[in-house]
Amino acid sequence: MITDMLGALGTSTRQMLANWGFAARLFFKLLGMSGAALKRFGLVRDQVHFLGNYSLAIITVSGLFVGFVLGLQGYYTLQRYGSAEALGLLVALSLVRELGPVVAALLFAGRAGASLTAEIGLMRAGEQLTALEMMAVDPVQRILAPRFWGGIIALPLLAAVFSAVGILGGYVVGVLLIGVDSGAFWSQMQGGVDVFKDVGNGIVKSVVFGVAVTFIALLQGYVAKPTPEGVASATTRSVVVSSLSVLGLDFILTAMMFSI
Amino acid sequence: MQRSKNDVWVGLFVLIGAIAVLFLALKAANLLTWSFSQDYEVTAKFDNIGGLKPGAAVKSAGVVVGRVKKIEFDGESFQAKVTLGMQTQHAFPQDSSLKILTSGLLGEQYLDVAPGADEKNLAAGDRIGSTQSAVILENLISQFLFSQAEKPTTESKKP
């Protein structure tokens, strides 16, 4: 009885360690193949098209509405302290440092990560990956690496678009609707936002999130059970795990970048 | 054919992303006011700098002419030693004076340069002698209270 339980515990621990090891091995294999993948840039470009262009609409619309809400809420709080002119600074800092990279990565995980996992999982289920191996084509290099780089290129651009559109949304609500002074809006923003410390670190964040979200999506698809249920649960797990790791990574990155 | 169509759309996507980054850098952040020009360093000592921080603006007549580079404590005179980076195109007389002011009621603190009348201009490494400390609200209040207490009229009116 007890030995059975201990055995099960040992098996699951070993299984978990093996999964982590496989994930790490796949990650370094992907990194090692980046040269070969970037050389065939046509494949990467098609993935940027699939992951980036098709996510542009959802990113733009959500960025606009996040900017609207930031403008309204920020004005409501700031005018209590008589400093509604700082609205531009509040909107820009919160978007550039946190909301832009994080919300864009969460949307990207739902919009693009899920479809990556489903695509790779179905390739696995339909034995297309095995067929590639039979033809001595490495599926990691031919299938996974272009998608990996496509995601890494697409997400920072999407996050930048999100932040920029969000700032415009904050401008529309704050200046055009509520009537905060336009000059103060922009000058407070420019006085408080630093190119390297705020914008640069935001871009670094979104690159890290791009690596994390794309890699988790590819890994979950690659190790999915080759059944309809397997692909379904892999897709769910891809979104859940990548969203959680984006939030966790964001805390670590913020602590590293901004607190010191 | 399919490929060339994709090319255009991906190019458009990258272009939109680049425009967004440029917008963030130029319009939202301070890349335009970032001075790539050389500046010369001038030091000054203050009795109390209040809330002045490195990176704060140095203004003259309301126009930014430099930045605060470094603030350190001088253990010999027990004063704050502030190093200013002044833009080279702006020269000030040697007997100019510095004041710590606040922009708005709750705004950031900045340094104000009041130009003097000396023939010679400030050069790199010079020290600005005449400085005026930041206004500390608590000191103001206590001064006000003391001056009120000294007034005989308030004393006699008390029943």
pLDDT digits (tens, 9 = 90+) for A147-204: 999 999 999 999 999 999 999 999 999 999 998 888 888 888 887 888 888 899 999 9
Tokens of A198: 């705020």
Cα separation values, A154 from A100, B3, B15, B28, Å: 14, 18, 12, 22
B124 backbone dihedrals φ, ψ, rounded to 5°: -60, 135
Rounded Cα distance, A201 and B121, in Å: 40
Residue B159: what pLDDT? 55
Nearest CA in chain B to A44: B10
**Taking residues B150-157, what's their average pLDDT?**
60
- The reply to whether residue B13 touches residue A52, judged by beta carbons under 8 angstroms, is yes
Q: Are A155 and A103 in contact (CB under 8 A)?
A: no
**Taking residues B108-132, what's their average pLDDT?**
84
In a domain, A68, yes or no: yes
Nearest CA in chain B to A171: B28
pLDDT band at B60 (very low <50, low <70, confident <90, very high): confident
- The reply to whether residue A48 touches residue B34, judged by beta carbons under 8 angstroms, is no
**Taking residues A130-138, what's their average pLDDT?**
90
- Structurally, how many domains does chain A consist of? 1
Contacts B7 to A, Cβ<8 Å: 45
Domain ranges of chain B: 1-34, 39-143
Nearest to A195 among B14, B29, B104 (CB): B29
Nearest to B6 among A45, A92, A156 (CB): A45
Q: Three-class SS of residue A213?
A: helix
Please spell the DSSP secondary structure of B91-137, one letter per residue: --BTT-EEEEEESSSS--EEEEEE----SSBP-TT-EE--EEPPPPH
- The reply to whether residue B13 touches residue A92, judged by beta carbons under 8 angstroms, is no
User: What share of chain A has pLDDT > 70, as a percent?
Assistant: 99
Rounded Cα distance, A223 and A217, in Å: 10
Best mutation target among B24, B67, B106, B109 (most A Cβ atoms within 10 Å) is: B24
Residue A41: what pLDDT? 83
In a domain, A132, yes or no: yes
Tokens of B5: 């169509």
Rounded Cα distance, B128 and B111, in Å: 12
ipTM value > 0.85: no
Containing domain of residue A171, as a range? 33-258
Rounded Cα distance, B115 and A188, in Å: 27
Tokens of B75: 């253990």
- The reply to whether residue B17 touches residue A158, judged by beta carbons under 8 angstroms, is yes
In a domain, A55, yes or no: yes
Q: Is the pLDDT of residue B129 over 50?
A: yes
pLDDT tens, residue by residue, A44-72: 888 898 998 999 999 999 999 999 999 99
Contacts A56 to B, Cβ<8 Å: 13, 16
- The reply to whether residue B10 touches residue A96, judged by beta carbons under 8 angstroms, is no
